[in-house]
Structure 1
Amino acid sequence: MTTRLRVLDDGAWISVNDSREVRVSELWRVDAPDLCECALADLVVENFQSVGVDASTVEARVYGQCIACGEAGTTGWIPLGQVRGGEFVEFDRSAVRRVRR
């Protein structure tokens, strides 16, 4: 089954199968040692740079800022959710997201 992934509205939304699923302005707990020196970054997502899929996991590279230390930049691939039975299921927003390089 094919899954259509797109970044919409100048990086404000991730569309999965023509449905807006994930938006910017979220606060994510991220294990992102390449972004900042915090053990876990409290990342305010400001812009989606690109979107992709690894097996059934939908991932994105995002630009954001750690609210704890102020460091800003673009991350590696962060998992957003999975496609199950043709439907997108977002990961729990309170879970720690581990960046894949």
Structure 2
Amino acid sequence: MTTRLRVLDDGAWISVDDHREVRVSELWRLDTDEFCGCDLADLVVENFQTVGVDGPTVEVRVYGQCIACGASGTTGWIPVGRIRDGSFAALDRSAIRRPRPEMNQ
């Protein structure tokens, strides 16, 4: 079964099978030292750069800003949900997200 993933409205939404599922302006907690120096970054998602999959996991790269320290930039691949039985299941908004380690660094 094929799942269609797209970035819509100039990076404001992630569409899964032509349904808007994930939007910008959310606050995500990131457990990474690659974005900023905070133990847990409080990232305001400002723009989706791209969307992809890693197995059943739907991932995005986003541009955002940490509200704790002010750092801004583009993240690595961050999970936003999973495809289960052909349907999208979003991660809980309060979940601590861990970007996938980048290969060949």
How would you bin the TM-score normalised by the shorter chain? Answer: over 0.9
**Counterpart in 2 of 1:61?**
61
Deviations, residues 17-44 of structure 1 (Å, cap 9, x unaligned): 0000000000000113111000110000
Report the Cα distance in structure 2 between the residues aligned to 1:96 and 1:65, rounded to whole angstroms: 16
Match status 1:28 vs 2:34: no
Runs ≥4 in structure 1, deviation > 6 angstroms? none
Q: Is there any run of 5+ residues in structure 1 with no aligned partner, and where? A: none
Which structure's residues are more often strand, by fraction?
Answer: 1
TM-score scaled by length of structure 2: 0.94
Deviations, residues 35-78 of structure 1 (Å, cap 9, x unaligned): 10001100000000000000000000000000000000000000
Aligned length, in residue pairs: 101
| Structure 1 residue 88, shift from structure 2 partner | 0.3
Q: Aligned runs of 1:1-40 on 2, under 5 Å?
A: 1-40=1-40
RMSD: 0.6
Report the Cα distance in structure 2 between the residues aligned to 1:36 and 1:3, rounded to whole angstroms: 33
TM-score scaled by length of structure 1: 0.98
Q: Percent identity?
A: 74
